[in-house]
Chains A and B, each alone.
Chain A
Amino acid sequence: MELTQTHIEELYKFTRAHYVEHYDVQTELADHLANDIEQIWSKQPKISFEEARDMSFQKFGVFGFMEVVEAKQKQLGKKYAKILWGFLKEWFSMPKLISTGFLFYFFYSFLDLQTNAIFFIVVVLLLVIIETVLGIRLLKKAKQRFKAKKRKYLLEEIIFKTGVFNTIVLFANFFQFINFTEGITAIWGKCVVAGGFTLAFFFSYITLIVIPQKAEELLKETYPEYKQLNAL
């Protein structure tokens, strides 16, 4: 016996109730459960849909869908890192390398002033404020997006949420670094700090602006079904 549309919808709800939030993971699990339920029914046609579903779910072991979700998070986390690295590399090849050089020099000059760390604090504070504003805007956008679509993909969540948190944490940690900047006199030391800030700047720019702008393109590339489902 084949499962009805209502059964399939029930399976999506079931995965959601078992902590699978993302549509891409839900789809794979719902199909797996559906296949297994049909198989169970072929041998035991008298048992109910719920009983067959629970029998199938038990096969996932004591942790339920957790292992599947974790593996998917790792896979897409890796993919996100690759995307980020791809955009970051662009800033270290011509013609963008010139802008990178200027930015590096900008940070280096502040360190070279040798007055005190106050200039540096002001610059970093300014960047943190800009970043926080951009981050909040992005999180709001994510909320509206997920509400409107009623489904969210794991990569979509990483793009709109994880990236924002990583960036804020990164820059917040840089404040601790400022304590060391006062005592740095060696050229290599200043180069390391200025290089670190340059990298952090690009990291934030890419995660907060570039990748979210390309979200649709990246989602279509990752999920073959994305385009057709969003057209419905």
Chain B
Amino acid sequence: MGNQKLYKGSLQTILLRLLETNGKMYGYEITQHVKELTKGELKITEGALYPALHKLEADGLLDVEVVKVGNRLRKYYKLTTFGTKETANKLAEMQDFLKTMQHLANPKFS
């Protein structure tokens, strides 16, 4: 819980990965899904989630779909073709980052 700042730089990659796995999702669903997956370790705040989604939409990585659910409208986000390609790139970048961090945290002296 105290290390939320460490996740901040990876928020967009997390969102892309979630949408890649789940197809289409709406904002609230994303926050709940992340909370569940990480057992409450990562809480995506509302103030960070929507700006990140809107940025990804502006960059052409996400597309939107609006559906009437009960008595209200719901906005779903899904990956575009470009978004799918970028998800693979961003995940690869994240893996490299994790490897580097692991080296730094546990240096092997030979």
Greatest chain B CB density within 10 A among A36, A79, A224 is at A224
Name the A residues within 8 Å of B58 (CB-CB): 74-76, 78-79
Q: Interface residues of B, CB < 8 Å — how many?
A: 26
Task: Give the docked Cα–Cα distance between A74 and B71 (Å).
Answer: 29
Given A59-B45, A68-B47, are A31 and B74 neighbors across the interface (CB < 8 Å)? yes
A71 lies within 8 A of B51 (CB):
yes
A71 lies within 8 A of B66 (CB):
no
A32 lies within 8 A of B27 (CB):
yes
B54 lies within 8 A of A3 (CB):
no
A68 lies within 8 A of B50 (CB):
yes
Name the A residues within 8 Å of B52 (CB-CB): 71
B73 lies within 8 A of A60 (CB):
no
User: Does A35 sit within 8 A of B, measured CB to CB?
Assistant: yes
Name the A residues within 8 Å of B71 (CB-CB): 3-5, 8
Name the A residues within 8 Å of B51 (CB-CB): 67-68, 70-71
Name the B residues within 8 Å of A30 (CB-CB): 72
Number of residue pairs A-B, CB distance < 8 angstroms:
73
- 1/0 per position for B51-73, CB-CB distance to A under 8 A? 11011011000001110011111
User: Does B75 sit within 8 A of A, measured CB to CB?
Assistant: yes
User: Does B41 sit within 8 A of A, measured CB to CB?
Assistant: no
Residue B28 contacts which of A31, A70, A225 (CB distance < 8 angstroms)?
A31
Name the A residues within 8 Å of B65 (CB-CB): 224
User: Does A42 sit within 8 A of B, measured CB to CB?
Assistant: no
User: Does A28 sit within 8 A of B, measured CB to CB?
Assistant: yes
Residue B47 contacts which of A39, A63, A75, A224 (CB distance < 8 angstroms)?
A63
20 residue pairs from A and B, CB less than 8 Å apart? A3-B72, A4-B71, A5-B71, A27-B66, A28-B27, A31-B27, A31-B28, A32-B28, A60-B45, A60-B46, A67-B50, A67-B51, A68-B47, A71-B54, A71-B55, A74-B54, A76-B58, A79-B58, A224-B65, A224-B66
- Partner-A contacts on B (CB < 8 A): 26-29, 32, 45-48, 50-52, 54-55, 57-58, 64-66, 69-75
Q: What are the 8 tightest A-B residue pairs by CB atom distance, in nearest-first order? A: A71-B51, A75-B58, A35-B28, A225-B66, A71-B54, A68-B50, A75-B54, A61-B47
